[in-house]
Chains A and B, each alone.
Chain A
Amino acid sequence: MQHDQKYTGQDFKVVGTRPNRPDGIDKVTGRARYGADMSAPGQLVGLMLRSPHAHAKIVKIDTSRAEKLAGVKAVLTSADLPDLTNGNAGDYATLENCMARDRALYDGHAVAAVAAIDKSTAKKALKLIKVTYEKLPHVTDVDEALKKGAPQIQPACDGNLGGRYEFGHGDIEAGLKEADVVIEKSFKTGQTHQGYIEPHACLATVGPDGSGELWVTTQGHFTYRNVCATLLGMDIAKLKVTSSEIGGGFGGKTHVWIEPVALALARKANRPVKMVMSREEVFKGSGPTCASSMDVKIGAKKDGTITSAFIECRYSDGAFPGIWGMLGGMTAWACYDLKNCKSVGVDVLVNRPKVAAYRAPSAPMMAFGVESTMDMLAKELDMDPVQLRLKNVAREGTQSSYGPVYGPIGIEPTLEAVRDHPHMKAPLGKNQGRGMACGFWFNIGGQTCSDLNIGVDGTVNLTVGTIDVGGARASLSLIAAEELGISYDDVKTTIGDTNSLGHNDTTEGSRGTFSSGMATIFAAREAIEVMKGRAAQMWGIPVEAVSWENGHAVATGAEHGNLPPLSLKEIAAESPKTGGPIAGHHEVTADGSGVSFASHIVDVEVDPETGRTQVLRYTVVQDAGKAIHPDYVEGQFQGGAAQGIGWALNEEYIYGEDGCLQNAGFLDYRIPVCSDLPFIDTKILEIPNPNHPYGIRGVGETSIVPPLAAIGNAVSNAVGVRLNQVPMSPPRILKALEDA
């Protein structure tokens, strides 16, 4: 059945309210089961041996002593895994990253694994594995890696160039000629980690018949299933993946790390294998985001009209090429309506972990360069920074810098809201500064499949395949209740395992509520069609004479109008006699996810003697399309802003001269603590997405895009010196002050 996904502007009864989440009680009582909370009878403990070198040839791995240790049930090296060197490049990189073959490419790269009866035996076994390394020259800095003669990381790449992507339109050189003012500046950002509190964890079982099960913390259990099965040569249908509750992901749980290894160990030992990363392993052996280095050049007329906009940003992808430069390149100028613009995203290989997605991946770096330079331009033109942005703002009909022509979008309304916000008018004290910045993220749709089943008492099971990372079950229950015209409490939403639904893409790209929301609406509408048929049967009238209003079947037309409406509960109660269970189902490749924009305001105070920055006040304004459950929309805004604050001020991977990571723990990888932050005010704007029945846009990622630049602008305003590197750690701020 075809459904119209166009926005209809309907009035909502339950959507937009703030009921309690269905998984709340489990999560406040300790009952909720996360990745490491599951056990199986006879399970083994799996541990990984990791390279202590930034770059080294693996000459030999001798596992014989480990294999002989009592209690060791399996030892695994790349020799036990398929050699995909000449196969699909993506599969090769994924597997090679999970277990190094000829060379260890970064500090923490896995080289072997064991499964043993307990943790201490497994630890002992790791110590008995003798790896002979031949150290190779390494490079960890993104700009150094591009220089001639830098150590080459992947033989298939040109130098360490992983890819180069250009976007834009017009003629930037011609635009510069029209400019009255030109601002040129270079910027750098440190490498950060998603910092989810739950380490990667899984429990794997594979029998000699090739059937397996995987319990795992993931943002996409269908993707994990497909990837693991492909890498290990298993049939997709024979690997059942069940997603645990997920203790944070932010993009970092979209890729496999230990999971194929756990499955391979389980297969070899023919016993369940549980693997749980330590925090050190999470930092060294999962997928942080890129460090970056960029050059920006903006030309403008005296009235603020931007005539030319250029940025090149080089992203450190780690030891394997990604598409991070492409993503960044697409986002760079997305907030603005520009005649001449160009953005270049460059992917660079370095001896660091293989980068994974981190909330609006690659966009915060570009925004740091663009939005910092915008503020410099405003200063040069003696213009209000918000006015400068409004002067050049993208609107419906604007040709975006990355290709599409925009439909209705929210950047101008967020800027107007910022301009008019009381925060912008609040007085500032000594050593304090205010900054603002804008941000953009695409959002995606993708493959989704949902099931809706109505019980005989009229309560509803909604089964979806997109992981709930922060309240999605509440939002989807609201949508099902809205559509069916029933109470929120009558809907129970569950995340199905891979055997219970068709494929669902990973929860990434802020797609969960958009795409599963759409599939839920249409599954509910399918169920309504069924219920109309059942009502017709109960009444003995043609189905054409039945309509659905407010959770009831209503008989229409003069000859049936006196029939009292039948509620969903009444129809459900009769279902065993009218044709059996009532269900709705929908699968879709959801399209038209609707882009998202935000503008942030921040006040900081900088201690001029120590260079320490305190965030005093923070306001997020973002377009949500439609906030289904406003609490969790606000939560996304606040969480993204907090991560951005950490990135701006303190978080970064610190590498020593030996190319080894020096701060692989929460002690020295300093994410914001409770006392670091103020309350984070939010303002939700709702500019409906025309391509969703409820107007939903993704809301999860955009909030991390503006903070780096907003705080950079605030700090620069507080101290009177432009900061062009994040994190703006106290030593960097003090140095900038001294150099000024």
Chain B
Amino acid sequence: MSEFEPTIVAFFCNWCTFTAADLAGTSRLSYPHNIRIIRVMCTGMVDPQYVIKAFLEGADGVLVSGCNPGDCHYINGNYKARRRIKLLKEILPQFGFENERLRLTWIGASDGVRLAEILRTFVTQIKALGPSQTKLKMAI
């Protein structure tokens, strides 16, 4: 049987984490192909709806990543994102979505190496966790 390859949806902010992903690319660092990056202007614009939709459509993991505290291009978008992730982490586990499937990180623009490491770790963890319930079954 072939190894389980998770689908991970990643919301990266334009100014920090996406730039770090760019840097990882230009530095020829590799990271797992399981990550589907969606570039957003700020983690503060990641509506909880986006995360819910990703999970219901069968994502095995969702990563939201933005600027380090104090570095937000829009001053405080990442603090707002943190409250929303906190909220989702209270709601989703009630319905059987493991808390480990949803992650928030801060990765600065110059942290290409760290980005690659974090993505590797996340993919390993999701592989260990197995497929999400929505991957196997239809969500009504």
Do chains A and B stick together as partners?
no
Interface residues in chain A, defined as those with a beta carbon under 8 Å from any beta carbon in chain B: none
